Structure 1
């Protein structure tokens, strides 16, 4: 074990459960080399203790999970790959720094994101967070637009096929509670929503059959499934892209 790693282990073990207090570290004064950069995790362990180290690792874990969720909700494949790349780089850097400070791997000289000293590193990390926030904003806008489209389609279906024996509530708004057609309309809404999500998922796959819902074998117009269309030349049964036919009351 090298001198730097040994001093980092001494610092972490000195901290105990709750540490010696912020600014009260002894190892960082001419004992632990590069205490402000490569081995700052040892200083954190000494000043904040085991409890502080767990909070630090938990904060990075939350950042990782949120970054992956933002990347998966990106409006296109490029945004997804870019978001995964940014959050993976930060997660890998955190793992290497903590592994070096705890003597799991040899010294690599990797700094701890957002904590180690260095203006250039901090500037690049903040820029990456800005890109990730931009991906999040684009994903939220896309989800809101799709929700509005689904709501408009649902309202159009309700207007085209009114419920039987529906009563009028206060202010002229249709009151569908307690009517026999409520369950029917809700089933149509859920079927349309499932078909919409299926086609949207395949439209992002960048495959030759993008935009089609692949229906299982044995299902289709002859199999009793109204969402599955006739087989194409490649044997795939796509879902109906048009409006689902509704029976008359």
Structure 2
């Protein structure tokens, strides 16, 4: 399986994401600069954390218009797995690939520490290696991770089981303690915690590795089934 790590001006978690795929998962991965327009050769798309374009206007608001985003949208529409972490999640929201919006953390402070997440839905291409309701330790590092949506959108997220991860305690003020959501099709996931920073015991947790293993497992099953 071949992954693309999209790099925007201001991305600073791209190397972490690359390491998670190349070294921890053992799969092929390449950096893709934001000006590129072709992602057809890649099987999975990863949008890392950081401060794309300095977070001017709003987090992810400018990156949403980068040339590469047309190809990211195309890949999502084709059913390829697309993962946005932290700033990558914010970009997916701004691009309309996921519903809702991000606000400043409730305490108006940058939060950087390990947190406990609850796996709310393990029947997805991103979470099949986890147990339903499993509590995992994955770090956060954000100032604008307070997820919000209107009541109608929240009801839809619940009905379609699109809430994939939630915080076990109120970390940043997010509605319903939401930490990660996916689209209705189930192939686009946005999450504020950083699974790429939890792929080996040296980093304090290996709980994030199962997310990437889930993506790989789904791709292999699909690839074998269609080959």
Question: Which category describes the TM-score, using the shorter chain as reference length?
Answer: under 0.3
- TM-score using structure 2 length: 0.20
For the pair shown, the structure with the greater C-alpha radius of gyration is 1
Higher relative contact order (CA 8 A, sep 6+): 2
Which structure's residues are more often helix, by fraction? 1
Which structure's residues are more often strand, by fraction? 2
- TM-score using structure 1 length: 0.19
